[in-house]
A and B are shown apart, each in its own frame.
Chain A
């Protein structure tokens, strides 16, 4: 419980930091270095998680368990889910972009607690390595990423305990990060900058961090109880000792439903930054966007039991959770319509960043619609725990968050490195990913509706063809990472120089050199009161002082 920080932070910590590429392996306190550490580390884990997904899809291209044995399959799928969520999406959409961008947006030179920030990052690699090595030593956890007891109590204990430990570390990292974001956004704002002038990503991160701080500790507590059940043979969740397995599910989903918004709200924020720049238009409906984020936060905390419609919950409870869940479509819908309105009438540069963002909109709408369908109890009792659910959430986590991550990399790569990415490779990457993704996951809706349960290594032969189509799509997705990786590596060294602000963007991170200097700005931090003030070019002649003037004075 690190509650107090050493008070010795007055001396400039950065002078002691290594420079050059080595600093990415060091305990750096620079928010930009930490952000990139999160990004690179997360991406490596993504490749591992994707490799595991590849193993899943290879196994599922035939109806019998041949490529992986049954318990290895369960380990692989548990690792896949855990890695993708806790080591890829959550750290990247929060940690990576949050650390890199938030200090710029609030006009600060670093995060509120740089040291805590570095600690939060450095909890991740050991947790991830621990999780992965457990597979090679005693076998990894094999009860799914949800780890429902009593299965998680009765499967081999070693793997499950390692899983719990590493999720606890990752949860801790996420809580520290959340506290840091809240403090930075609320407390470190540059004087003169009002809350309602912040770029949307700040609001998204504020909402997300509130969810992190309120819900992650509940997961931590739950997992501690679960580990007692495994190690000390208590009976919290063990029915043979009088425990109650449903209580675990409530506690788990109290965290893990908000966790899905922890994975997607920051992505919403990132899209809100990217679209206006490339469409050359102000973000449409700023105020309603802010309220809808807060609406999602509030609603997100009270819908968890929609994952438990078949767990024997009482009827009134199911009904309440159906209604609450369905209503999340309203604030979410506002955001989507506002994005379309942002595009409408713009001067859209059709580059990779905007393509991935628009791909996100399309995919997420489909995932959201299946989500609203799943929220209806009578609908869910048929498709719960089937491939329909798998399709739903991959449309959201991959089609949503991962698409946004790619979009953001295309958008901010010049900021990170001062080099441009190759656009043709980027578009090729987009087309291949988009086709592969839809080929992989769209057919899974049908599989679920027609009787294929999830988490199985063997299935009814009637589903073979459709599964093979899905596996082929996964192959395309795997191939699509190659042009991307090549693009990143090649452009980092040989890419065209981008200049400081290749997109002519107005948000604060672009108003400094690319890559930025150590303390973000040489001299004063700029006061950006209108981060989305596009479309004012006539008024922006050098004589008229600034577009920021005529705003809420």
Chain B
């Protein structure tokens, strides 16, 4: 019995201990996005239940116009595509082009936020007017927060790609990829949100 323990091992050449491979970090990021998605799922579930169970007060005003949010959807979808283009340019080591596409993506994100603000100010109801209003602002606001963070991240990535041998290159592009995945995620959430909030 005394010898059992020492015999249960076996040495085999391996290299385990390098920490924080990029693919681990991407994996971590995706797990985080699953978690983040669950927060949204909770909000959506609350919204749908409220809608099914709690009818609006008779005197409540609740009208959503479609043009602006449709424009927003288009803006975000285009921005996903431009981010993708930026990635391609990075792979081709064309830093200039990559930066242009990145700036365009960030610009589209900011345009989205601006247009969202316009919508907020033109809506006939405020945060505390009624249950719908509150849920509407909570959902779009939480999403807007994500867009804001994403836009900031894109700008940071843009800053880091400045020179051909900057911190982000086609060989070291984890921050770039992270921002891109996050941005696609935020877009995806918007599409769901658009369908549930505006179309249903």
Contacts and interface: CB of A to CB of B under 8 A. Distances in A.
Direct contact of A and B (CB under 8 A): yes
Interface string B1-13: 1111111111111
Contact of B7 (A175, A192, A547): A547
A180 B135 CA distance: 32
Nearest to B133: A234
Interface stretch (B29-37, B82-90, B91-99, B187-195): B29-37
A114 B19 CA distance: 9
B35 A110 contact: no
Interface string A80-117: 00000000000000000000000000011110111010
A546 B182 CA distance: 47
A318 to B, nearest CB: 17
Q: Which applies to chain B's interface (DSSP): helix, strand, loop or mixed?
A: helix
Nearest to A218: B42
Interface string A187-198: 110111000000
B4 A241 contact: no
Given A187-B27, A251-B46, A528 B8 contact: yes
Contact of A546 (B7, B32, B130, B178): B7
Q: Which of B27, B37, B40, B142 has the most CB of A within 10 A?
A: B27
Nearest to A500: B5
Contacts of A545: 10
B131 A213 contact: no
B38 to A, nearest CB: 4
Given A175-B35, A218-B39, A505-B5, A4 B175 contact: yes
Interface stretch (B50-58, B63-71, B100-108, B111-119): B50-58
B163 interface: no
B16 A217 contact: no
A192 B31 contact: no
A192 B128 CA distance: 58
Contact of B8 (A178, A214, A530): A530
A526 interface: yes
B12 A540 contact: no
Q: Which of B29, B50, B134 has the most CB of A within 10 A?
A: B134
Contacts of B81: none
Interface in A490-538: 501, 504-506, 510-511, 519, 523-530, 533-534, 536-537
Interface stretch (A219-227, A264-272, A329-337): A219-227
Given A218-B38, A519-B17, A528-B8, A241 B131 contact: yes
B16 A110 contact: no
A434 interface: no
Given A182-B31, A183-B28, A190 B1 contact: no
A242 B131 contact: yes
Interface in A277-324: 280
B128 A233 contact: yes
Contacts of A247: 46, 49-50, 53
B38 A213 contact: yes
Nearest to A526: B9
Contacts of A218: 38-39, 41-42
Given A108-B17, A228-B138, A232-B128, A187 B24 contact: yes
A62 interface: no
A186 interface: yes
A4 to B, nearest CB: 5
A547 B3 CA distance: 12
Given A182-B27, A525-B14, A533-B4, 12 more contacts: A3-B32, A110-B17, A114-B19, A116-B28, A214-B38, A218-B38, A247-B50, A523-B11, A526-B9, A527-B12, A528-B8, A548-B10
10 contacts: A1-B36, A4-B25, A114-B19, A179-B31, A187-B24, A221-B40, A243-B50, A504-B5, A526-B8, A526-B10
